[in-house]
Amino acid sequence: MNPKVFPWKKLDKDEKRKLKMKIFDIIFEANTPYGKLFDISLLLVILFSVALIVLESVPSFNSRYHDFLVIAEWIVVMLFTVEYFLRIYCLQKPWRYVFSFYGIVDLLSILPFYFGIFFPNSKYLSSIRILRLFRIIRIFNLSGLTKNRNILILGLKQSKDRIIVFLSFICLVVVVIGAIMYMVEKDHPESGFTSIPISIYWAIVTMTTVGFGDIAPVTGFGRFLASIIMILGYGIIAVPAGIISSEMVNASKQDNIPTNTDVCQYCNDNYHLDNARYCKTCGHLLNP
């Protein structure tokens, strides 16, 4: 192996560790100049790639600028691929990142492109590339957005149990109402209530105030029941928003909401108190 072509082969163990730390600081940290520059650049590339996906779906634009879209997509995918493997390289336990939410999103954002090369029939998978938009969540580590992100996360965590109970109750209500509507309207095929699953579908659509109009009761009692579920729908929509909002207000009043952007190199956890020196999940030193 020619050391001039592959200079990192001459690096000793300590130098490789320093190189990993330097790459880690740039890619995962947002409190350094290079880290902020990387995050801003990544944000622009993500928005550009999403714009490419949207424009590619427009037949007139795609036929006119097809070559440009293909070349631009190649460049974007190469950048994302290099970034993905650099994230794996600089972590002490890469598998934690690979199987994390962000790791799966990063992988799914580049896989459809390579599948399209080797399996042309898998072109329909290209729409999965829109998942790249989820990567913008990482940019919340920039400046003052970290505290607001943590307030939202804390509010969602604290309201989780009540939201689960509320959704369970809603599921129970739509199943019961759907079954009742089927019994009331089953003798009138023109109404569309041909089975209990379809009636449950109608109950969900009606309770969420969507109202497609493809199914509608024709009997007096059925219309009366539909009116009740419509009125309930307005109150039901406001409940989850109220629960989460109240918890977010309580969370914003707490003095210990962290603004720390440090990421653990071992477990990839990025939620730590401001003056934390060690990771709360695995106990390893942050920013060694």
Entry pTM: 0.68
The two tokens of residue 260 are 């720390």
Residue 19 pLDDT level (bands cut at 50, 70, 90): confident
The answer for 209, left when phi > 0, alpha when psi is -120 to 50, beta otherwise, is left
Which of 13-27, 81-95, 105-119 has the largest mean confidence? 81-95
Distance CA 135, CA 80 (A): 11
Residue 82 has pLDDT above 90, yes or no: yes
| 99, 106 Cβ separation under 8 angstroms | no
What pLDDT, on the 0 to 100 scale, is given for residue 88?
92
What pLDDT, on the 0 to 100 scale, is given for residue 200?
93
Distance CA 111, CA 280 (A): 33
- For residue 75, the Cα-to-chain-centroid distance in whole angstroms is 24
Tell me, what DSSP letter sits at residue 58? Answer: S
Residue 81 pLDDT level (bands cut at 50, 70, 90): very high
Residue 145 has pLDDT above 70, yes or no: no
Average pLDDT, the chain: 82
User: What does the DSSP assignment read for 199-215?
Assistant: HHHHHHHHHTT---SSS
pLDDT in tens, 168-197: 988 999 999 999 999 999 888 888 899 999
Distance CA 164, CA 131 (A): 26
Total count of residues recorded for the chain: 288
What pLDDT, on the 0 to 100 scale, is given for residue 284?
75
H helices of 91-219, in order, are 94-98, 101-108, 111-118, 145-158, 160-185, 196-207
Neighbours of 3 (CB within 10 A): 9
What pLDDT, on the 0 to 100 scale, is given for residue 198?
93
Higher pLDDT, residue 127 or 282: 282
Distance CA 162, CA 117 (A): 47
Distance CA 199, CA 185 (A): 9
Residue 126 has pLDDT above 70, yes or no: no
The two tokens of residue 135 are 């990567």
The 3-state DSSP class for residue 285 equals strand
Higher pLDDT, residue 47 or 261: 47
What pLDDT, on the 0 to 100 scale, is given for residue 288?
59
